[in-house]
Amino acid sequence: EVYNPNGKYRVVSTKPMPGTRWINLLVDQGCRVEICHLKKTILSVEDIIDLIGNKCDGVIGQLTEDWGETLFSALSKAGGKAFSNMAVGYNNVDVEAANKYSIAVGNTPGVLTETTAELAASLSLAAARRIVEADGFMRAGLYEGWLPHLFVGNLLKGQTVGVIGAGRIGSAYARMMVEGFKMNLIYFDLYQSTRLEKFVTAYGQFLKANGEQPVTWKRASSMEEVLREADLISLHPVLDKTTYHLVNKERLAMMKKEAILVNCSRGPVIDEVALVDHLRENPMFRVGLDVFEEEPFMKPGLADMKNAIVVPHIASASKWTREGMATLAALNVLGRIKGYPILSDPNR
């Protein structure tokens, strides 16, 4: 699919993206926009080399693609100056290789913060109240009438939510859980989240002034402290060498037997084989997973676990956010083509 065939700059998108705003803004600025409609979900390096061709000024790519030395070298040979991931995470991008070829790299933070935090909150609630299990029970025609013990779950109010990685998304999630469900907060991050702390303190004072039990917060000195103390834990770190298998067998064992673990960051942050064993041995332990170690696959056994809720990497999937991501990715590429610093540069 090609827009503005005579445009001066050639910009390729490896996938169709939501909305038309991103196309219009590129076309208005003199770009020829080419959108790949190959009927396969994950494009190979060879597919993308074909798309880049002999002349390409910039590419908008996806987190499923391996943007390493080979692709940046091909893009550089084609005269390319810019690449943007349509994602905030860029663990699929070798930024050093891009720098080597003087190709600017962009990502799409900000526009997906609340949407992603809302999915983490949805998984938290769905796991706490066993919604997916209960839905399956109804559909299977097993409901025979109200019972005192039917699908009893956890009350979040007054429990402790633990957040690992209190950046934009982790902090937004923490605020939702504290304000929405009056949970106490414990968080671990390498940096102190003063904004988050100010919010929880002010909210605690507000509750107190209204005669309600104030919420408490604590900045943990280690990740293990969060794992031991929290009733509900949500993971929001970036994926790199230091966070690979952050949640492993030993750390799962530190968690409360009835804890809930939510992951909307990247799959490899959890050792999924260890998680399946843990779920099997601890039926009251529950997880809500949006991401998997080797997408699109799940480790054997995970799909059979009643105490696991699994969804296909949809945390940023709201219309507003996906259109925003596409627009930001286009602006990243366009800015660089026009000679400005990239709008959203993960190097900075």
Which residues are catalytic, by number? 266, 295, 313
CB of 171 to ligand DGY, least distance (A): 16
Q: Does 104 bind ligand DGY (CB under 6 A)?
A: no
Residue 313 to residues 59, 132, 183, 216, Cα–Cα distance (Å): 23, 17, 26, 32
Q: Considering only 87-95, 156-164, 196-204, 269-277, which stretch makes contact with ligand DGY by CB under 6 A?
A: 87-95
| Pairing state between β 2-3 and 31-35 | antiparallel
33 DSSP β-pair partners: 3, 11
Return the SS3 of 233: strand
Q: Which of 7, 89, 162, 335 is close enough to bind ligand DGY by CB under 6 A?
A: 89
Return the SS3 of 60: strand
Nearest partner of 46 among 82, 11, 70, 18, judged by Cα: 70
Q: Does 160 bind ligand DGY (CB under 6 A)?
A: no
From CA 250, how far away is CA 18, in angstroms rounded?
A: 42
- Give the pair of three-digit tokens for residue 153: 């779950």
- List binders of ligand DGY among 164-193 (CB under 6 A): none
Q: Does 112 bind ligand DGY (CB under 6 A)?
A: yes
What kind and span of H or E run contains 107?
Answer: none
Q: Does 316 bind ligand DGY (CB under 6 A)?
A: yes
Q: Does 88 bind ligand DGY (CB under 6 A)?
A: yes
Q: Does 63 bind ligand DGY (CB under 6 A)?
A: yes
Q: Does 235 bind ligand DGY (CB under 6 A)?
A: no
Residue 145 backbone class (left: φ over 0; alpha: ψ -120 to 50; beta: rest): left
From CA 124, how far away is CA 176, in angstroms rounded?
A: 11
CB of 271 to ligand DGY, least distance (A): 19
CB of 327 to ligand DGY, least distance (A): 14
Q: Considering only 38-46, 49-57, 85-93, 166-174, which stretch makes contact with ligand DGY by CB under 6 A?
A: 85-93
Q: Which of 87, 178, 235, 247 is close enough to bind ligand DGY by CB under 6 A?
A: 87
Q: Does 270 bind ligand DGY (CB under 6 A)?
A: no
| Chain residues that interact with ligand DGY, rule: CB under 6 A | 63, 87-89, 112, 316
